[in-house]
């Protein structure tokens, strides 16, 4: 994902033809890495960055599990523009995300953001407009190709890097991204939800 990587195209898009381990450095269990423990910071996610003196816990990296047929079908279902068009046209949803990002603008400005399951990249763009120093827009489906075009069309290739590949699975992706990369005081949007059930 850096200019030295053979899959790097110069505008941040990493081509899907490379093995996942070359694209993202994931799935390399022989390398140990430092990361935050699973319980650290739970319940207090605010945008911010880690200070260099923050003690990291040492964990062996797990091998990334192979995609199952279910995973492949799930990611394929998000490959088509139609489903993303429906989500973007849901103005209440889109504006709520934008408002939440802008409401936390002071916490996002100058920080690094990861948009897991970025789709067309609209939330990545909102984060860039909120002043994020860098946004990593990650999607396992083919929509990442369109996201890269959307980023270029909005002249944000210098801030947003589109990565085409999976982190793990959707919920697993968010949890994995939180555990690997969320810094103390970091923010997850949305951070919680309420599900209401009623009988028909």
Instruction: Tell me the percentage of the chain whose pLDDT exceeds 90.
Output: 32
Q: What is the mean pLDDT of residues 104-110?
A: 94
Q: What is the mean pLDDT of residues 126-144?
A: 93
Q: Is the dihedral of CA 137, 142, 145, 146 positive or negative?
A: negative
In contact, 84 and 120? CB cutoff 8 Å: yes
Cβ-based neighbour number of residue 29 at 10 Å = 11
The CATH homologous superfamily for domain 20-50+66-181 is: Vaccinia Virus protein VP39 (3.40.50.150)
In contact, 163 and 138? CB cutoff 8 Å: yes
- CA 28 – CA 22 distance, rounded (Å): 10
- CA 124 – CA 146 distance, rounded (Å): 13
More confident residue, 198 or 24: 198
Domain ranges of the chain: 20-50+66-181
Judged against a pLDDT cut of 90, whether residue 110 lies above it is answered with: yes
Query: What token pair was written down for 126?
Result: 């909102």
Query: What token pair was written down for 19?
Result: 């093995």
Per mean pLDDT, which of 13-17, 27-31, 94-98, 164-168 is the most reliable? Answer: 94-98
pLDDT tens digits, one per residue of 155-177: 999 999 998 887 655 567 677 88
Q: What is the mean pLDDT of residues 8-12?
A: 40
Average pLDDT value for the chain? 70
pLDDT score recorded for residue 137: 94
- CA 79 – CA 74 distance, rounded (Å): 9
Q: Which residues have CB under 8 Å from 57's CB, separation 6+?
A: 34, 35, 36, 37, 40
| pTM of model > 0.95 | no
pLDDT tens digits, one per residue of 64-95: 567 677 666 766 767 777 777 888 888 999 99
């Amino acid at each position: 994902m850096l200019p030295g990587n053979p899959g790097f195209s110069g505008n941040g898009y990493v081509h899907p033809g490379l093995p996942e381990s070359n694209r993202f450095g994931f799935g390399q269990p022989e390398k140990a890495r430092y990361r935050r423990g699973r319980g650290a910071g739970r319940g207090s996610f605010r945008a911010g960055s880690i200070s260099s003196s923050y003690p990291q816990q040492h964990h062996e990296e797990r091998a990334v599990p192979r995609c199952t047929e279910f995973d492949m079908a799930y990611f394929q279902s998000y490959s088509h523009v139609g489903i993303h068009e429906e989500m973007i046209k849901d103005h209440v949803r889109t504006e709520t995300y934008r408002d939440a990002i802008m409401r936390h603008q002071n916490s996002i400005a100058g920080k690094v953001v990861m948009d897991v399951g970025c789709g067309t990249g609209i939330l990545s763009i909102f984060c860039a407009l909120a002043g994020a120093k860098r946004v990593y827009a990650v999607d396992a489906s083919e929509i990442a190709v369109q996201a890269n075009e959307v980023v270029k069309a909005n002249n944000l290739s210098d801030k947003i890097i589109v990565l085409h590949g999976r982190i793990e699975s959707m919920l697993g992706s968010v949890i994995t991204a939180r555990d690997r990369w969320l810094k103390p005081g970091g923010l997850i949007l949305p951070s919680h939800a309420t599900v209401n059930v009623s009988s028909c």
